[in-house]
Amino acid sequence: MLHPEQFLPAITTTDGGSDWREKIKEIDELGLKKVALFPTCLRKREREEMFSLLSKTSLKEIPFAHIRTDMDYSELDWLIDKYQTKVFNFHSSQEHRHFFDYTPYKGMLYLENIYSANFTEAEIKQWAGICLDFSHWENHRLKGEPQFEFISEMLKKYPLGCNHISAIVREPFIDNKGILVYGVHHYSKLSEFDYLKNYSLNYFSNFVAIEVDNPLKEQLKAIDYIINLMNN
């Protein structure tokens, strides 16, 4: 059984124009005490603004955060100290250069499976385990790509620490990297999460973030839908 405590609405910063400032306003409007944080597309100055705005809300915890590989120790420590962050995920060094040596945080850092430049087994061994992005994994399955089986095998061997959930659409499209994809960071209808029924409950960790740029109010609806979908 899945439980609401496993799920987190997220402050996202996707390339598609996610309005993260409005999402931060929603925290108090909705009375939220916990969210996930995705400063994925923000440079240092914008992250400083984000952290300042978060500090002015009644938010208590950010259990799970995606880090950019240009984030320094002070940013990670701020999240840990102020918001009790338990797990971080980041991308492989094959996709984005790691500007800092993150080994002091090794026990908290999980590598995410992505569409391109997927991690190697050798790289997984350097960190705490895997951050499973369901939509990326489903994208490989729908396209019949070998990465699907590779991720399946890695999940048998290494710890699963956290998850991302985005939507899957019926008609694939070419993304800004020139890759044919089914996954989107904005859901139009809740049935775009039905693909999750392809996966065992064992693939859901204790930290499941909804990675869409929809308002937090709509993300909460998605969480309710997913829990009901998977538990029935």
Supply the pLDDT for residue 16: 64
Question: Which CATH number goes with the domain that contains 148?
Answer: 3.20.20
**129 contacts 160 by C-beta, under 8 angstroms:** yes
Q: Is the pLDDT of residue 134 over 70?
A: yes
Looking at the chain, the whole-number percentage of residues with pLDDT higher than 90 is: 87
Domain extent, residue 55, equals: 4-231
| CA 125 – CA 134 distance, rounded (Å) | 21
Q: Give pLDDT tens digits for 106-115.
A: 999 999 998 7
Q: Give pLDDT tens digits for 63-99.
A: 999 999 899 999 999 999 999 999 999 988 666 667 6
Looking at the chain, the whole-number percentage of residues with pLDDT higher than 70 is: 96
Count up the domains in the chain and report the number.
1
Residue type present at position 110: Y
Q: Give pLDDT tens digits for 24-69.
A: 999 999 999 999 999 989 999 999 999 999 999 999 999 999 999 8
**47 contacts 208 by C-beta, under 8 angstroms:** no
Query: Tokens 């405590």 appear where?
Result: 5
Write the burial class of residue 110 (CB in 10 Å: 0-12 exposed, 13-18 middle, 19+ buried): buried
Q: Give pLDDT tens digits for 174-200.
A: 988 888 999 999 999 999 999 999 999
Q: Is the pLDDT of residue 18 over 90?
A: no
* Total H helices, total E strands in the chain: 7, 10
The pLDDT-based confidence of 100 (bands split at 50, 70, 90) is: confident
**DSSP helix/strand/coil, 167:** strand
Q: Which residues contact 156 (CB under 8 A, 6 or more apart)?
A: none
